[in-house]
Amino acid sequence: MSATQPYIPRIGERGAERERYRSSRLVELKIWWREVDRVLLFLILTLMAIGTVAVAAASPASARRLSTAEVTLPDLYFYWQHLRVQLVGIVVLLGVSMLAKDNARRLGVVVAGLMLGLLFLVPVIGFEVNGARRWIDLGFSFQPSEFLKPCFAVALAWILSWRIREPNLPVVAVASAAMGLIAVLLMLQPNFGATILFAGVWFVLIMLAGVSLPRIGALIAAGVTLMTATYFLYDNARYRIDAFLFGGTAYDQVDLAEKTLLAGGWTGTGMWLGTQKLRLPEAHTDYIFSVIGEEFGLVVCALIVVLYLALIVRVLVRMADEENLFTLLAATGLATQIGGQAFINIMVNLQLFPSKGMTLPLISYGGSSTIAMCLAAGLLLAITRRNPFLSRESAGLRALLAQQLGKREGDRS
């Protein structure tokens, strides 16, 4: 064969190469199945399955409400849309969960940087939906803040984990500056609910990072001051809080949501038999928990709450003896983000919290928000995968909390 002649594999060699590729992929799948938290995966997929049924129940109400004289939406319009997006979301979830931990961290940090850059562009090129400029159209519409939520937790955990190698780095100051920048960009949209959620994730990770008790007190005082200033300077927040405390007409969705939630009693009216949901705005997104209450009963609502609590507890139990500080912080941050968003949404539906325009994670209808939540779940599964060759950096969540408690007891004395 000439030195310049390209090598062309024979038919048998091509078949062997394909067989080796299939074999390597099978080995990767076996490793993933052995390392992934199957209980956590089951809880996530169960919530998504409940969401599929719930969107089918809520779709007629939203379709009829959004139909016009020119265009009549089919009753199951949002259900079929949700199924298509869920299929994409499951691919994202499983694909991300198969990443190695370092690659999952890199993905989270890179996406966080990209979404932060897009947040700067939202006030310039974004478009309004329901009075808020949160969306960007790049051939498809999405909210950068939705994809930033899970990636913010990963990026913040990465920054705070630098302290384990270089204790003198000002990681808390860097993390706080990033939180402040994101809060300003979100309030410009305006997106007060997302700002609260981001702040909650930041606060939990800052506490785990070892901030002293006096500094935590100062942070809480600063937060109360900012919340008070927001009430007087931020019209949207003031209207929602006033409506929550004193009742109102422009923002009375919360009252309708509570009536819908309780209309079905303990066992519900049955699927597609609810009538209160027909009056409810955003029945398939923000207030889907109320639709579940009317048609499937308060028992199913309680089951959903238990599933979210089980997801959070499962992550915390798995982190109790985690050896890698980044893993500990990132998993806790992601669990806080998912659990915090579910808590806010459920409290709004129970009329225990002002309306926030926030979906119920893994259950509500959504386009970019569903895919973003599947990204969060995939990152959580990837980061909590067990690797027997991890180097020991910390003694786990249990020891870390005990250490922080000991420090704070020392500060008091």
End-to-end CA distance of the chain, in Å?
A: 83
Tokens of 208: 């785990």
**Residue whose C-alpha is closest to residue 32's, from 384, 330, 323, 390:** 384
Give the sign of the dihedral formed by CA 305, CA 99, CA 391, CA 153.
negative
DSSP tag of 277: G
Q: Read off the pLDDT of residues 18-53 as tens digits, 9 standing for 90 and up.
A: 666 566 778 888 888 888 999 999 999 999 999 999
* pLDDT confidence of residue 261: 87
Burial (CB count within 10 angstroms: exposed 0-12, middle 13-18, buried 19+), residue 11: exposed
Q: Which of 96-100, 176-180, 279-283 is the least confident region? A: 279-283
The percentage of residues in the chain with a pLDDT greater than 70, rounded to a whole number, is 80
Burial (CB count within 10 angstroms: exposed 0-12, middle 13-18, buried 19+), residue 227: middle
Tokens of 340: 């915090």
Q: How confident is the model at residue 251 (pLDDT cuts 50, 70, 90)?
A: very low
> What are the φ/ψ torsions at residue 253 (nearest 5 degrees)?
-60, -35
Stretch 123-137: mean pLDDT: 79
The percentage of residues in the chain with a pLDDT greater than 90, rounded to a whole number, is 41
Tokens of 62: 């939203």
Q: Which of 71-85, 134-148, 292-306, 326-340 is the least confident region? A: 134-148
1 SS3 class: coil
